[in-house]
Amino acid sequence: MDEGEIQSYIAKTRGANTHSSKASLFSKLVESLFGGEVDVALAPDVFPELEEHLIAEKGTLAVKKEEDTPEPNLIIEFRTTKLDPLRSGEIIERAKDQLRRFAYAIWRERQPELRCLLTASDGVHNFVYRPSLKGDLDSVDLEGVSPFTIDKKLREIIDLEEISRQDFSRGDPERVCKWLERIIFGRLSDG
């Protein structure tokens, strides 16, 4: 692993101002670090049911796992606003609301048993959540209601447990690479 590669990624990501540019930089970093071991794609290509819930079609990535493996699928939503918990909890809460919409869409279309991890990222600050269902999906009708009402209803039935976070600017490049490997390959219990 090239230390300069991570530093270059951080610098470029900080300068990126669109969802799609941040997602593209991340995808290139993962390809550079892990080669063909990982298939990172645009989220609507992997989970078409997400399309109507995306802020920016090219700003959300997915890593889909084979159905017979225990590793969870990974969805990464890139934000243009800095996700710094010391700066604003409200920004992170809005990102979590978006992630709940993803879980809802996938579980409605497929099944709640489909394992996934949801990540909110600004490219540097990363928050990984494990969604769980605490209510009945069928009890929620989102047709014709405001985005505020949708988010409120989804908070009632979908819990997001924060299982990891990483600030790439504060970790040494080797640690960042190990963290990415754990998240992408679903090895959260490995340290």
How do residues 163-190 score in pLDDT, each as one tens digit?
999 999 987 889 999 999 999 887 765 4
**Angle formed at CA 105 by CA 101 and CA 109, multiple of 5 degrees:** 170
Query: Within a domain: residue 190?
Result: no
Q: How many CB atoms lie within 10 A of CB 25?
A: 19
- This prediction has a pTM of 0.88
- Give the number of domains in the chain: 1
13-44 pLDDT, tens per residue? 999 999 899 999 999 999 998 887 888 888 88
Widest Cα–Cα separation across the chain: 50
127 domain residue, yes or no: yes
Mean pLDDT, rounded, for 94-108:
89
What does the pLDDT read at residue 159? Answer: 95
Q: Is residue 111 part of a domain?
A: yes
Q: For residue 57, is it within any domain? A: yes
Domain boundaries, position 81:
3-184
DSSP label at residue 64: P
Lowest mean pLDDT among 1-15, 47-61, 109-123, 125-139: 47-61
Mean pLDDT, the chain, rounded, equals 85
CA distance 74 to 64: 7
189 lies in some domain: no
Q: How sure is the predictor about 191, in pLDDT bands with cuts at 50, 70 and 90? A: very low
Tell me which DSSP letter residue 29 carries. H
